[in-house]
Structure formats: structure tokens, C-alpha cells
């Protein structure tokens, strides 16, 4: 990865954090999986999911490809994935976006869910071009759970508080890619398509905090404060209570509508 970008393995160290990530992180919508397969025009033989974490989204691909390989720079994430997910078609390895574990022209689909903003994009796209078969698909997915996703002043206030903590740890180029949901990212192939679906979820403020604790930026900030994951959770909770959140506010359940955007491109066949 680029020298000035935090390395992902610095964020996800310790199985407790990876297990929280697996439990609370939003998953890749099945609609996007089906869109990618439809665009490929056949059942994928080999699907590579890069920046897979503990397999939260990778598991959504099971049943839609013959072989699925999740790749993550964090060995902790890979260990939790291999321990938790045991389908015959699915496996996970530690690896880098700059050196994908696949032979030339051997992969039908490469996906990245909510992680490509950390990559050295020129190096990653060069590797994607190397491993993709002609006609293969690159799919990048981004989702949002910010203040605009919930129609509740109480939850908007909480989301604003978390967003302030979140943005402080995001480099400008990363923040721009995230805020645009990758829509203006320059992909390696001119043929591209954007699709958006809404993931509707019921969360209490406590649930929302658990989700936020899976964000690498939040964990980066928490570690900078010298806190553990649990101490960080307590720290953010205290921040919210100091801002006026009550116990009832923390437990009340609200409906969130989260946009999940797919940006995809097809490698030319000739």
C-alpha cells in the first residue's frame, strides 16, 4: 500500500475485534452479487474477494461461484474467517492487494467491499488486470451508515458524534472516495456501471456503536488514545451520554436505510 496510508493489519489485531467485525459489520447485499454474476454472463469459476476481513461479506458469495478465495492483509482476520466459515468452496489467505494470490488471467470476479480506499490504487488495478480473465468483472462496494441513514434526531446526534471521531482519522483522499461512494473513482476499464440498493436494518444506539467499533478509523483513533476495544466502546458511550443521551435513548430501536453502492467494470475481451 502507499507509504502514507495506514496499513490495515495495524487496525485489526486481536480475535475479539475480528469477531465483533464479523458479528456487526454490514454484509455485501445479495443483489450486488447477482448483478455481478449477471454482468459476467455465466457462473464464475473463481471469485477473489480482496480486503475480506473475517469473511463477513465473502460468505454472501457462497453458492454463486465454484471457488471463492478471501484475501486480507491481517492474519487475525484470516484466522477468524477460516475458523468461522467452513464451506467447501470457500477459503481465506493472508495477502496484499499489491500481490494477489492468483495466476495470470485465472479469476472471473474481483470484489472489494468497503476497503479499496485504503489501497494503493495503481498497484492494485495493475494486479487486477493481471489476474482477471478477459471479460472478468471488478466490483467495488461502498456503504453508508451516517446521519442521513436514519430519521431520528436522537440517532442523528449520535451518528454526528461518531462521524466527528471517524473523520479525524481519515486522510483527505480516503474521505473523498468514501463520501462519493467510489462513484468518481477512475477504474482501469472504461466500461462501468453503478447500482445502489438500500439495506434496511433495525438498530438501537448500542447496536450502532458496535457497528462503529468495526470501523478501522474509529479503532485507529481509540488506539491513539491508548485504549483497548472495550475501553474505546466505553469512551464513546460516555461521550454520547455527556452529549445528552439517556439510557432509554441507548436501548430504543430505530430503522436505518443504508445505501450500498456497487461500482463495477468489465475487462475488455480483446
**Residue 223: partners with Cβ closer than 8 Å, 6 or more residues away:** 232
pLDDT tens for each residue of 76-99: 899 999 999 999 999 999 999 999
In the block, cell 449520535 appears at 158
Determine the pLDDT at residue 1: 35
Determine the pLDDT at residue 171: 58
Conformational region of residue 119, where left means phi above 0, alpha means psi within -120 to 50, and beta covers everything else: beta
Which of 9 and 239 is assigned the larger pLDDT? 239
Overall number of domains in the chain: 1
Beta strand extents in the chain (DSSP E only): 46-50, 67-72, 90-94, 107-113, 132-143, 192-204, 253-266
206 part of a folded domain: yes
Determine the pLDDT at residue 244: 83
Rounded to two decimals, the pTM is: 0.86
CATH classification of the domain holding 25: 3.40.50.150
Determine the pLDDT at residue 8: 46
Determine the pLDDT at residue 127: 98
pLDDT tens for each residue of 93-126: 999 999 999 999 999 999 999 889 889 999 999 9
Pairwise CA distance, residues 154 & 14, whole Å: 32
Helix (H, G, I), strand (E, B) or coil at 224: helix
51 part of a folded domain: yes
48-52, 107-111, 179-183: the lowest-pLDDT one: 179-183
Pairwise CA distance, residues 91 & 83, whole Å: 10
112 part of a folded domain: yes
Q: What value does the mean pLDDT of the chain take?
A: 84
260 part of a folded domain: yes
pLDDT tens for each residue of 196-210: 888 888 888 888 888
49 part of a folded domain: yes
pLDDT at 170 exceeding the cut of 50: yes
Determine the pLDDT at residue 14: 55
Q: Residue 70: which domain range?
A: 8-266
Question: DSSP characters for 59-120?
Answer: GGGTTSSSEEEEEES-HHHHHHHHHH---TTEEEEE-BTTB-SS-TT-EEEEEEES-GGGS-
Confidence of residue 7 (pLDDT cuts 50, 70, 90): very low
Amino acid at each position: 500500500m502507499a507509504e502514507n496510508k495506514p496499513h490495515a493489519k495495524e487496525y485489526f489485531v486481536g480475535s475479539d475485534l475480528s469477531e465483533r467485525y464479523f458479528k456487526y459489520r454490514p454484509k455485501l447485499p445479495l443483489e450486488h452479487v447477482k448483478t455481478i454474476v449477471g454482468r459476467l454472463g455465466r457462473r464464475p469459476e473463481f471469485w477473489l474477494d480482496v480486503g475480506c476481513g473475517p469473511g463477513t461479506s465473502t460468505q454472501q458469495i457462497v453458492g454463486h461461484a465454484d471457488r471463492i478465495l478471501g484475501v486480507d492483509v491481517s492474519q487475525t482476520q484470516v484466522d477468524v474467517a477460516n475458523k468461522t466459515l467452513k464451506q467447501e468452496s470457500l477459503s481465506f489467505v493472508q495477502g496484499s492487494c499489491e500481490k494477489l494470490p492468483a495466476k495470470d488471467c485465472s479469476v472471473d470476479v474481483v470484489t472489494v467491499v468497503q476497503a479499496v480506499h485504503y489501497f494503493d490504487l495503481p498497484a492494485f488495478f495493475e494486479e487486477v488486470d493481471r489476474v482477471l480473465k478477459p471479460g472478468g468483472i471488478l466490483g467495488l462496494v461502498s456503504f453508508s451508515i451516517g446521519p442521513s441513514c436514519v430519521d431520528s434526531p436522537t440517532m442523528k446526534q449520535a451518528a454526528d458524534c461518531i462521524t466527528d471521531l471517524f473523520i479525524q482519522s481519515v486522510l483527505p483522499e480516503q474521505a473523498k472516495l468514501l463520501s462519493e461512494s467510489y462513484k468518481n473513482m477512475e477504474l482501469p476499464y472504461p466500461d462501468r456501471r453503478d447500482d445502489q440498493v438500500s439495506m434496511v436494518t433495525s438498530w438501537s444506539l448500542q447496536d450502532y456503536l458496535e457497528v462503529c467499533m468495526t470501523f478501522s478509523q474509529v479503532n485507529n483513533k481509540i488506539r491513539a488514545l491508548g485504549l483497548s476495544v472495550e475501553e474505546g466502546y466505553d469512551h464513546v458511550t460516555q461521550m454520547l451520554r455527556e452529549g445528552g443521551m439517556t439510557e432509554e435513548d441507548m436501548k430504543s430501536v430505530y430503522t436505518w436505510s443504508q445505501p450500498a453502492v456497487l461500482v463495477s467494470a468489465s475487462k475488455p475481451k480483446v
